[in-house]
Amino acid sequence: MSLNISSVNMNGKRLESTLISLKSVKKSFPSAGDGVAVLKGISFAIEPGERVSILGPGGCGKSTVLKIAVGLVEPDKSADGEIPVGAVTLGNVDMFRGEKPDIARVLRQVGMAFQQGALFDFMTVRENLLFAMENMTSLTPAEMEEVLKGLLTGVKLGHTENQFPYELSGGMQRRVGIARALATDPSIAIFDEPTAGLDPVTSTIILNMILELGGRGGEGGRTLLVATSNVEIAIRFARRVILINDGAVVADGPWQDLILKGSDWVRHFLGVRLIGLDLAYARGLNLPQQFLDAHWG
């Protein structure tokens, strides 16, 4: 007799087979002009514990995809005026047709660092983190204090606890956003453009912080998503890259495969941003040998 334990975690609880799922999601904004679709039918599924980069040029629809995934923006309705069944699910909760308490429950497991920081300007760094924990966890004040200290030390901002966001640099604000997204110990953590507008050194520091603090991947681990228009950040963050262009998924898979076997557009988009790099540095990115030979050979 064989026991199928693949879908059962250590506590014996069934894991939902797909954690984040979008099916043929379309979106147009009336204000964006006469029926121009910003998303033209986006589909992907992300398993629990996966680490995924959502990559694409600025304006391709990454932030809209993320906001739809967490229910902040409604996708377009179909001809019957309804959002199609199962268009967007988190866990097994339908984000636009599910029961409000179910949606609220699943959202408590999501931590998101928005592109524009979205810290509360009228709260100190400390208050920003405590606010998230007070509203989304059942931690005791002492436990909150411990998480707060640990995360702020992790993002090297222990000394800014009582400062207001406007007193911090852009990179520091971004780090507070990362700490706040993780403060609730979410099972899904999402970082939208965590390094946009930052210099390469600061970008690397931030990427490493997300990887270190985000931690515990794999089955039963935390699902980590980064949306970025920076190819190097995307491939350093995750093996799986979902590449979006002009509101559609144009490639989805291990980036080493995409860089060698993707369409002309995909290979060009990925390649052109990498071939200017120093060879020694490029080697450190684990680029496929065939790609190194072709461009540095």
Ligand X SMILES: Nc1ncnc2c1ncn2[C@@H]1O[C@H](COP(=O)(O)OP(=O)(O)O)[C@@H](O)[C@H]1O
Per-residue binding string, Mg ion, 54-93, x by CB under 5 A, is --------xx------------------------------
- Amino acid letter for position 113: A
The residue written with tokens 């030390």 in the block is: 153
228 contacts 55 by C-beta, under 8 angstroms: yes
Please report how many Cα atoms fall inside a 13 Å half-sphere around the Cα of residue 258, on the Cβ side.
Answer: 23
Considering beta carbons, is residue 77 or 216 the nearer one to ligand X? 77
* 58 binding partner (options ligand X, Mg ion, none; Cβ < 5 to 8 Å by kind): ligand X
To the nearest whole angstrom, how small is the minimum distance from the Cβ of residue 284 to ligand X?
A: 27
To the nearest whole angstrom, how small is the minimum distance from the Cβ of residue 193 to ligand X?
A: 7
Cα torsion through 159, 162, 164, 168, rounded to 10: -10
To the nearest whole angstrom, how small is the minimum distance from the Cβ of residue 221 to ligand X?
A: 26
Cα–Cα dist 21/200, whole Å: 32
Cα–Cα dist 59/190, whole Å: 18
Considering beta carbons, is residue 61 or 262 the nearer one to ligand X? 61
Binding to ligand X, residues 157-186 (CB under 6 A) = none
Using CB atoms within 10 A of its CB, is residue 231 exposed (0-12), middle (13-18) or buried (19+)?
A: buried
Per-residue binding string, ligand X, 52-91, x by CB under 6 A, is ----x-xxxxxxx---------------------------
Binding to Mg ion, residues 35-54 (CB under 5 A) = none
* 29 binding partner (options ligand X, Mg ion, none; Cβ < 5 to 8 Å by kind): ligand X
For residue 94, give the nearest of 111, 75, 80 by alpha carbon.
75
Give the interface size with Mg ion as a residue count (CB under 5 A).
3
244 contacts 55 by C-beta, under 8 angstroms: yes
Q: Does 229 bind Mg ion (CB under 5 A)?
A: no
Considering beta carbons, is residue 69 or 103 the nearer one to ligand X? 69
Bridge partners, residue 225, by sequence: 52, 190
Q: Which residues contact 45 (CB under 8 A, 6 or more apart)?
A: 18, 20, 21, 22
Percent helix, strand and coil across the chain, each to the nearest 5: 40, 20, 40
Considering beta carbons, is residue 191 or 291 the nearer one to Mg ion? 191
* 203 binding partner (options ligand X, Mg ion, none; Cβ < 5 to 8 Å by kind): none
To the nearest whole angstrom, how small is the minimum distance from the Cβ of residue 56 to ligand X?
A: 6
194 contacts 228 by C-beta, under 8 angstroms: yes
- Amino acid letter for position 205: I
Considering beta carbons, is residue 11 or 31 the nearer one to ligand X? 31
Per-residue binding string, ligand X, 24-53, x by CB under 6 A, is -----x-xx-----x---------------
Considering beta carbons, is residue 60 or 69 the nearer one to ligand X? 60
Considering beta carbons, is residue 168 or 227 the nearer one to Mg ion? 227
Cα–Cα dist 206/197, whole Å: 12
**Residue ranges binding Mg ion (CB under 5 A):** 62-63, 115
**Residue ranges binding ligand X (CB under 6 A):** 29, 31-32, 38, 56, 58-64
